[in-house]
Amino acid sequence: MKLSEYARFYYIEKHQNCAVSILLGASDKYSFGLCEEDAKLVVGFGGGMGCGKVCGALSGSIAVLGKLFCDRRDFRAICAGFVKIFKEAYGCDSIDCAVLTAKYKNAERRCVDVVILAADILEEYIEEIKNKEA
């Protein structure tokens, strides 16, 4: 199953926020063993930290990269690379929730499109990093 399918499940079916949905979706996909209680560590990143700043889907993605790659010497570069790809995928130079929600949020579906795209690019990025290691 794709990471975006897991993330969508948490976002739509479990009514989690963007950061939690990405983290728990990745936990399911990559067998981190996290539960919803553990994911409360990132709940405050949803809605751009509650004030429209850094996108929660991006923050959740960075948490996932931390879980997978924090022991690597190039971890900061991995994070910076993902932020660059994230901006390119959304077609804007901003990583702020307020900017992205103005463009992508839907009253009925909330920010599910942002969550799905973030999960898709995160999964692709993780695979790319792992393939370089092999």
Residue 106 has what pLDDT?
Answer: 86
Tokens in use for 30?
């990559």
The size of the chain, in residues, is 134
What pLDDT tens digit does each residue of the chain (134 aa) get? 999 999 999 999 999 999 999 999 999 999 999 999 999 999 999 999 999 999 999 999 999 999 999 999 999 999 999 999 999 999 989 999 999 999 988 888 899 999 999 999 999 999 999 998 87
Contacts of residue 116, Cβ cutoff 8 Å, sequence gap at least 6: 4, 7, 8
Structure tokens at 69: 């790659």
> How remote is the C-alpha of 104 from its chain's centroid?
15
Beta-ladder partners of 83: none
- Measured CA distances, 11 to 7, 85, 102, 130 (Å): 6, 22, 19, 27
The per-residue pLDDT for 107 is 83
Helix-, strand-, coil-residue percentages of the chain, each rounded to 5: 75, 5, 25
Confidence at residue 108, expressed as pLDDT on a 0 to 100 scale: 85
Q: What pLDDT was estimated at residue 23?
A: 98
pTM: 0.96
